[in-house]
Amino acid sequence: MQQGKGEQGNNQQGKGQPAKGKKGPEIEEQPPEQKNKLFAHLEPYNKPNSLSFQSMINDDIHPAVMGLGLKICNKEIQGANARCDAMLDALELVIKDFSSNDYKVLDTKITSNSNFLGSFRPLSIGMKNALKHIKQSIFDSTNLNPQKAKQCILHQLKRYRESKIIAADKEISLLASQKIQDDDVILIFSSSSVVNKIVIEAHQSRKKKFKIIVADSPPLFEGKSVLKKFGCLGIQCSYVLLTGVSYIMKHVKKVFLGAHAMFSNGSILGRAGSSLIAMLAHSNDIPVLVACETYKFDEKVQIDSICYNELQDPELLLKDYKMFVGEERKEEKRRVPHNLKLLNLAYDVTPMKFVNMVITEIGLIPPTSVPAVIRESEKKAAEDRLNWRTEVYDSD
């Protein structure tokens, strides 16, 4: 998304060293999002460098968390599920290497390590919910002896990951694959790990013959990797950019979308472009099915993409421009006009009226049932904690 706005002050330089050579700001020196008042409340994108990385390191940061932070920064780990799973792996090592007998210190250590990860990229809603569970487990184990407490916390962490991510994805793929029939034309958007598993389950286990249309958008073009993966599996695929979805929508029978989070008003936070596809499908009377694990459900309400979002690297928007410019203008590749503001939003919000069904590990539900699912999940979690504490303290 690019937003233009004329303004004075073309001779002003941003923070950092003045640009050498021709006049004009460079993206690293003067992040354009910081000038956009509409999104001033969002955390600005800061591209980490070796100096900023070293300044964030302290004795509380575990080496595994440092490595994970670099992988997230370099986009080696993408997707809400992958990031949450990797975070749980890293925090498991933090807990295993914790040597103090005071487990209140462990809570502080978990907080400092999670804040370190958040400095590279804002934590997803699913990651925040997982952190709440870990901290609750630490609180429930404070009166146990240190060795028993560590075992219980690690057990709860492992159980959470297996039930909320691994088993949930498997159950969702089994349920959703039943909605895919022979000769269906399925439209998916970008890359969603759970949607990919649904397609593979329908193709390999249920032996259905169908066609996939992969819609994609700049600047990451994550759909290309999905296209390659499905092609290697023998799934018939087509590829279309987001700008051309309206032309192929008449051939589509179902739309499957992933979700970054779901809010209690039924709105869906997804990859930027998801809402456009959902609205186009709705206008063409095509069912939209959203696959989302319940650990991504959030009790907050959101009606737009402005209140909560994530600002990504604005320089990615210039990637195609850099290729077009060529080597002969190498010094100008990263320069943008002063009156051009670059805005790279990660997510958008899809109103629940454009979604026919939400596929979760507990079944197929309408978007209006999200508050009920959150209430029941909290109630069940409280009962499980009570039973667990009774069992642990009786055996201690």
Please report the pLDDT score of residue 321 as a whole number: 58
**What are residue 215's phi and psi, to 5 degrees?**
-90, 140
Highest averaged pLDDT of the listed ranges 140-144, 161-165, 342-346:
161-165
- pLDDT-based confidence at 262, cuts 50/70/90? very high
- CATH fold, domain 180-310+345-371, is Rossmann fold (3.40.50)
Please report the pLDDT score of residue 11 as a whole number: 43
The reported pTM is 0.84
- Range list for CATH 1.20.120.420 in the chain: 50-170
**pLDDT digit string, tens, across residues 312-356:** 988 888 876 555 555 445 455 456 667 778 889 999 999 999 999
Pick from 3-12, 251-260, 284-293: least confident = 3-12
Is residue 14's pLDDT more than 50? no
Highest averaged pLDDT of the listed ranges 87-96, 98-107, 333-342:
87-96
Is residue 6's pLDDT more than 90? no
Strands 357-360 and 363-365, by their bridges, are: antiparallel
- pLDDT-based confidence at 8, cuts 50/70/90? very low
- Amino acid 311 reads L
Q: What is the mean pLDDT of the chain?
A: 85
- For a pLDDT cut of 70, what percent of the chain falls above it? 83
- pLDDT-based confidence at 22, cuts 50/70/90? very low
Q: Give Cβ neighbours of residue 175 (< 8 Å, ≥ 6 apart).
A: 359, 363, 364
Please report the pLDDT score of residue 319 as a whole number: 73
Structure tokens at 214: 């992969």
Please report the pLDDT score of residue 395 as a whole number: 63
What is the pLDDT averaged over residues 98-127? 89
Q: Count how many residues are written for the chain.
A: 396
Higher pLDDT, 75 or 179: 179
Pick from 142-146, 189-193, 208-212: least confident = 142-146
**Cβ burial 129-143 (10 Å sphere, 16+ → b, else e):** bbbebbbebbebbee
Higher pLDDT, 9 or 376: 376
Question: May I ask the CATH class of domain 50-170?
Answer: mainly alpha
**Cβ burial 295-334 (10 Å sphere, 16+ → b, else e):** bbbbeeebeebeebbbbbbbbbbbeeeeeebeeeeeeebb
**pLDDT digit string, tens, across residues 31-54:** 444 457 788 888 888 776 655 566
What is the pLDDT averaged over residues 165-188? 96
Please report the pLDDT score of residue 323 as a whole number: 54
Partners of 212 in beta bridges = 186, 237
Structure tokens at 239: 């590829």
Distance between CA atoms of residues 396 and 389, nearest Å = 10
Is residue 13's pLDDT more than 80? no
Please report the pLDDT score of residue 10 as a whole number: 44
